[in-house]
Structure 1
Amino acid sequence: MKKFVCQVMKPALFTAVLVLPATGCGDHEESSLTNTAAISNDPETLLEDMEEVTSAQAVMEGENLYAGVTVTQWSRLRLDSIRKKGHSLLKKHYPEKTVHFSTDYKVWLELHAFKEELQKKSLSAKKRKKRLTGIEDHMKG
């Protein structure tokens, strides 16, 4: 009996322990990829997927898309290339929009505050347009 366990059962258990967990991994990865693809239309999610970006804020108003990001400290040395990369990424996914993109922290803060006010619905159309024009001026500045 001891010989049977050593010769047949140990290799069978060893194989089962190695093979069974690996067979369940394939289906799980496929479902997580489809969930990621469904969310990727959001401009903030697109920008946060960039490795240099730590946080993103984006507002779509009419035919304009305003976006601001914060970047990692080390990435601040390459702000020009990050601006080009972020702008082209948004333009690729939203070709019908006029994209306004910035890596300036002040723009990120303004967009964050603007989004909070929009959620509270405390802005009229005229004030919304004025705030976005001010944010756009900061982006050019």
Structure 2
Amino acid sequence: MKKFVCRLIKPALLIAVLVSFAAGCAGNEESSLTNMSTGTNHPEKLLENMEEVTSAQSVLEGKNLYAGVTVTQWSRLRLESIRKKGHALLKKHYPKKTVHFSTDYKVWLELKRFKEDIQKKHVHGKKRKKRLTNIEEHMKG
């Protein structure tokens, strides 16, 4: 009886360990791929730590950093100072990048859609540059 149980348990235990190991590896690859494709978690976290900001979106593209935030309703009265503070914060952490920063909701929404399209792999080459140029134009006013 003891030999029979050992013959069943050992292979079952081995299979369980291998399956759990494989599942763990697959999940890590996917999350690291997502982080590599966007590469913008750090700027968003910096901006979301500001008390006026409710949500942030950012895209790193070459020498440029595009960032947009949504602010609390009460903070909308001080958009100019929030823009200066956010831009200075990003410039301090990314001195070699050209920082494009906006508190406009439309810019935040466009950056969010752009990031979603990048993850779905719908945007490539010239189309990608054109969309970022359009977002930059919205930032200028």
User: Same fold by TM (over 0.5)?
Assistant: yes
Q: What is aligned with 1:107?
A: 107
- Please tell me whether residue 138 in structure 1 is matched to residue 122 in structure 2: no
State the shift of 1:70 in Å. Answer: 0.1
Q: What is aligned with 1:72?
A: 72
Q: How many residues align?
A: 101
Q: What is aligned with 2:127?
A: 127
State the shift of 1:116 in Å. Answer: 0.1
Q: What is aligned with 2:97?
A: 97
State the shift of 1:80 in Å. Answer: 0.2
Structure 2: where are the runs of 5+ without partners?
Answer: 1-40
SS in structure 2 of the partner of residue 70 of structure 1 = strand
State the shift of 1:125 in Å. Answer: 1.1
**In 1, Cα distance between the equivalents of 2:138 and 2:124?**
21
Q: Which runs of 4+ in 1 moved over 2 A?
A: none
Q: What is aligned with 1:35?
A: none
**In 2, Cα distance between the equivalents of 1:125 and 1:48?**
30
Greater shift, 120-129 or 99-108, is seen at 120-129
Based on CA coordinates, which of the two structures has the bigger radius of gyration? 1
**Correspondences of 1:13-32 after superposition (within 5 Å):** none
Structure 1: where are the runs of 5+ without partners?
Answer: 1-40
Q: What is aligned with 1:57?
A: 57
State the shift of 1:124 in Å. Answer: 1.2
**In 2, Cα distance between the equivalents of 1:125 and 1:85?**
32
Identical pairs, percent: 81
Q: What is aligned with 1:37?
A: none
The one-letter amino acid paired with 1:89 is: L
TM-score (norm. length: structure 2):
0.71
